[in-house]
Amino acid sequence: MTGAAPPPLPAGAPLLEATGISKAFFGVAALTDVDVRIERGEVMALLGENGAGKSTLVKILTGAYRLDAGSIRLEGAPIEPRSVADAQGLGIGTVYQEVNLLPNLSVAENLYLGRQPRTRLGFLDGRRMQRDARALLARYGLAIDPGSLLGTYSVAVQQIVAIARAVDLSGKILVLDEPTASLDARETAMLFDVVRQLKREGLGIVIITHFLDQVFAIADRVTVLRNGRLVGSKPITELDRLSLITMMLGRELKEETLGRSGGEAAISSKPLVSFRNYGKRGSIEPFDLDIGRGEVVGIAGLLGSGRTETARLAFGADKPDSGTLTVEGEAVSVTSPETAVAQGFAFCPEERKIDGIVADLSVRENIILALQARRGWMKPLPRAEQIAIADRYIKALDIRTAHRDLPIKFLSGGNQQKAILARWLATDPRFLILDEPTRGIDVGAHAEIIRLIEDLRARGLSLLVVSSELEELVAYASRVVVLADHRHVAELSGEAMNPSAIMAAIARPHGSAEPATREVAA
């Protein structure tokens, strides 16, 4: 598909080599000194949790972002892609998770937009375009009518059309960003056939995915990023599931070691909330979970394992389709955030920027939001009371803001997180659900958030905390539920609850019939 035979490379030079890549947004480092290299005819899987820097790295390689420091060499020659089109011209093509084609145009028009064949008079040669499109798609095993609208085909077909376009345009490197996220098993196999074919033709392929099985199925080498830094890059043959998960979640060098607080002593015998056979089809399989008063239960698992789904289900942000929930022994129905708030539940979501803060409202307005919603909008909180509440939490949680009326978007990530926490604490909840409370905030602020979690526990709140920072999780949680493939696969507590045990539980192959194991050390 690359047309002419590839020119000989300088001896030993990889197809693409990026060294010392750094990028910061508004002073917050997204990538720090990352090296990455891709060989001809190689599939490299790029792995990492949310916010690890995968997409930033890909966007730098594909020209969407400019790098702050570092250099990129393609076939030994330094390049500096200025735009996506520029990178394409150099030979680096991208296909995004959300297919970035135009469903309102025909398949052929999508393949050739901007480079349509023209007649001698300069008009588009529709017939030739259809013919070329048919021939191009046939090489990918697609026998579809190129004259039909792209939007009438399935996502898998659209994905392959996007790949065909990208490879036809660039032809050296193909970046696939979560290509299988919305494909079924058969469609994924079809896509991987295409990837293997391109690999044989000498392309370098970068694939971002969070499905480990797919990594082992398709990748030749794995590169893992974490918190914007390179953890390592290894041939797949040197890795098994556990070593791969360890690279993704394993211990990071931290200056302070966290003492374990656990908090088992404070747990009362009766659970505050108790989920039985609680689940939602296609999202998370039914699970049982009890959380006592003054207890922190942790949720661990890889991206896409169902951890966020568990949190959303517990809060009623998603509706369960099986199971029961009791609060203090009383059966209740929590099928919407509104009913959850009425039960004294609170939820700080992972995507702070999207689901959490209202960027243009002030710190004060953001803090009183949930309380106001609970009172009903017809009964506004008196301004003096608003100020009192805002000031109390700004002081109590040490939210660093120049003023309570500053729009919250000007605060740092850690302080925004604390403001959202304050919003929910103002409603005086019994049960607090936190999804990745330390994601995307400075390492220094981690300790403050953890201290806050411990304070809240000590005050008798029940907490359910989703986190990929396993070291931190085992420090403040009394139990950790491990998720994999949308199922609760293990529940660890006591001495059995440590990062390596959690990673081992994630890595263990999970037969779908076998029940979740419970490992409790005496």
Q: Which two tokens stand for residue 99?
A: 């297919």
Among 30, 46, 58, 101, binds another protein (CB under 8 A): 101
Question: What's the Cα-to-Cα distance from 50 to each of 162, 218, 449, rounded to whole Å?
Answer: 24, 22, 19
> Of 120, 186, 383, 395, which one interacts with another protein (CB under 8 A)?
186
CB-nearer residue toward another protein: 186 or 200: 186
**371's tokens:** 């309380």
Q: Which of 85, 406, 520, 521 binds another protein (CB under 8 A)?
A: 85
Min separation Cβ 124 and another protein, Å? 5
Which of 13, 149, 217, 303 touches another protein (CB under 8 A)? 149
Q: Which C-beta is closer to another protein: that of 122 or that of 382?
A: 122
| 156 exposure class (CB count in 10 Å sphere: 0-12, 13-18, 19+) | buried
Q: What does residue 175 show for φ and ψ, rounded to 5 degrees?
A: -105, 125
Q: Is 217 in the site for another protein (CB under 8 A)?
A: no
* 50 C-beta neighbours (distance < 10 Å), count: 16
- Over the window 281 to 310, marking each residue x when it contacts another protein by CB under 8 A and - when it does not, the resulting string is -x----------------------------
Q: Does 512 bind another protein (CB under 8 A)?
A: no
Which among 90, 1, 37, 76 is positioned nearest to 220, based on CA atoms? 37
| Whole-angstrom distance, CA of residue 335 vs CA of residue 39 | 50
Rounded CA separation 273/59 (Å):
43
Binds another protein by CB under 8 A, chosen from 55, 56, 88, 493: 88
CB of 16 to another protein, least distance (A): 20
- Among 113, 358, 388, 443, indicate the residue that binds another protein (CB under 8 A): 113
**Residue 200 in the binding site for another protein (CB under 8 A):** no
* 16-25, strands of its sheet edge to edge: 28-38, 16-25, 69-74, 77-79
123 makes contact with another protein (CB under 8 A)? yes
Count of residues that bind another protein according to CB under 8 A = 35
Q: Considering only residues 9, 69, 102, 521, which one is a binding residue for another protein as defined by CB under 8 A?
A: 102
Q: How many angstroms separate the CA atoms of 193 and 390, rounded?
A: 57
Is residue 454 classed exposed, middle or buried when 0-12, 13-18 and 19+ CB atoms within 10 A define those classes? middle
Whole-Å CA distances, 163 to 2, 198, 205: 13, 10, 11
Q: Is residue 471 a contact partner of residue 501, using CB atoms and an 8 Å limit?
A: no
Question: Contact between 152 and another protein (CB under 8 A)?
Answer: yes
DSSP label of 359: T
184 binds another protein (CB under 8 A): yes
Which x/- pattern, by CB under 8 A, does the window 249-268 give for another protein?
A: --------------------
Buried b (16+ CB within 10 A) or exposed e, 69-108: ebebbbbeeebebeebeebbebbbbbbbbebebeeeebbb
| Token representation of residue 512 | 């779908």
Segment contacting another protein by CB under 8 A, of 119-127, 342-350, 393-401, 438-446: 119-127
Residue 34 pairs in a beta bridge with 21
Q: If binding is defined by CB under 8 A, does position 202 make contact with another protein? A: no
- Piece of the chain touching another protein by CB under 8 A; list 105-113, 295-303, 314-322, 422-430: 105-113
Of 108 and 224, which CB lies nearer to another protein in the complex structure? 108
**Segment contacting another protein (CB under 8 A): 33-41, 94-102, 256-264, 360-368?**
94-102
Residue with Cβ nearer another protein (183 or 447): 183
Q: Pick from 28, 69, 124, 359 the residue near another protein by CB under 8 A.
A: 124
Q: Which residues from 49-68 bind another protein, rule CB under 8 A?
A: none
Binding of another protein at residue 109 (CB under 8 A)? yes
185 is a site residue for another protein (CB under 8 A): yes
Query: Can you say whether residue 76 is alpha, beta or left, with left for phi > 0 and alpha for psi between -120 and 50 degrees?
Result: left
Interface residues toward another protein, by CB under 8 A: 84-85, 88, 96, 100-105, 109-110, 113-114, 116, 118, 122-124, 126, 148-149, 151-152, 154-156, 165, 182-187, 282
